[in-house]
Structure 1
């Protein structure tokens, strides 16, 4: 997946920000929702660090792997949360090779996990469910077809002198295809 942009393919509401454009999810059903509510990311990171000491980048990759590539938290979310956990005494940086800090859980962090075990299990299950849904719905052939459509649109409509009639015809074709797929 690319970093810093929206996810590719069908995110089913679980793209980069766990939601689509214009304040709605990717399917236009309603307001988008953040992937994690207040404090949830902190607990997920604690759990992943409790499993094994990790670097910030490793945590991003692990969450992305759990969600099947549907969501990868940004460094701008991960690193401040790691700083908070460190300040709270729930994790601590260990000696590591290179410039990356390797974080390990502390006794206080384990106590926090134990106190929130049910919530943590639910959060990890939610991430895994997103990954399973992504796997079930994000087939290679659909991604290929979407890529073909995207390239044709860029090639055909990327010129400044596209006639209004052509633009309307393209929009009508895309709308027609969407309606036919919806009826399947």
Structure 2
């Protein structure tokens, strides 16, 4: 947390979030993650005690909406937000700097991945094709196919990583269901690969 929020900054930023609109606990955690470009994803153990303290100070109230607890800022909380608006602006600038650093890191990772991919593709292009290798050296053929596979995996990894980091840096959310689907697809690819290797 220290890398993103200074001492007391998280408390004030929570108030500023609730000044925009009421939120439930998970919504607050998600908003913090989105606004920091994924650099800070707080735990429930971090957020709820601070909300309870803000409630004890009379700056926040909570109400039940079915099974969900909604937190709302009070007039006293709004007064503190107004009085400390310049501090909130400074916190927001710091968060924007964090997002810019993420974007810079994404660009650097993409450049490195593309450099590696070009090297892998060059190695694969210089390797004998399967038909030629089959008549000459089965191990040479296997190495050529390995190079092709590694090139494809490097390109896939670079693309997924760049897309996710760029999306997060722009404040976008990444649903866990989407990553679950990705994991299931990758598990299926592994199964098919192993089945194909067993047939050979």
How many residue pairs are counted as aligned between the two chains?
Answer: 114
Deviation of the 1:86 alpha carbon: 0.6
2:34 to 65, 68, 85: 65
Contact 2:4 2:98 in 1 (8 A): no
Task: Give 1 or 2 for the bigger CA radius of gyration.
Answer: 2
Inter-CA distance 135–104: structure 2 relative to 1 (3 Å threshold): same
Aligned in 2, Cα 1:90/1:139: closer, same or farther, shift over 3 Å? same
Q: CA offset at residue 77 of structure 1? A: 1.2
Q: Return the TM-score normalized by structure 2.
A: 0.51
* Relative contact order, higher structure (CA 8 A, sep 6+): 2
Which residue among 39, 44, 67 is the counterpart of 1:75?
44
Superposed counterparts of 1:120-139, under 5 Å: 120-139=88-107
What's 2:87 paired with?
A: 119
Q: Structure 1: 5+ residue runs without aligned partners?
A: 1-16, 18-32, 149-184
**Partners of 1:67 and 1:134 within 8 A in 2:** no
Instruction: Please give the per-residue CA displacement for 1:163-183, whole angstroms capped at 9, x wherever unaligned.
Output: xxxxxxxxxxxxxxxxxxxxx
Aligned-residue offset at 1:127: 1.3
Alignment partner, residue 51 of structure 1: 20
Q: In the TM superposition, what is the alpha-carbon distance from 1:95 to its structure 2 partner?
A: 3.1
2:71 to 103, 115, 136: 103
**Alpha carbons of structure 1 residues 141 and 40: separation in structure 2 relative to 1, 3 Å:** closer
The secondary structure found in structure 2 opposite 1:94 is strand
What per-residue deviation string (whole Å, max 9, x for no partner) do you get for residues 9-66 of structure 1?
A: xxxxxxxx4xxxxxxxxxxxxxxx4432332111000000111101111111111111
- Residue 112 of structure 1 and its aligned partner are, at CA, apart by 0.8
Residue 92 and residue 143 in structure 1: after superposition, are their counterparts in 2 closer, same or farther (change >3 A)? farther
CA distance in 2, matches of 1:69, 1:137: 13
Whether the aligned pair in 2 keeps the contact of 1:67 and 1:129 (CA below 8 Å) is no
Question: What pairs with 1:31-50 in structure 2 (closer than 5 Å)?
Answer: 33-50=2-19
2:62 pairs, out of 89, 93, 106, with: 93
Q: What SS class does the counterpart of residue 7 from structure 2 fall into?
A: coil
Equivalent position of 2:191 in the other structure: none
Following superposition, the deviation at residue 144 of structure 1 comes to 9.7
Using the size of structure 1 for normalisation, the TM-score is 0.55
Alignment RMSD (CA, Å): 2.4
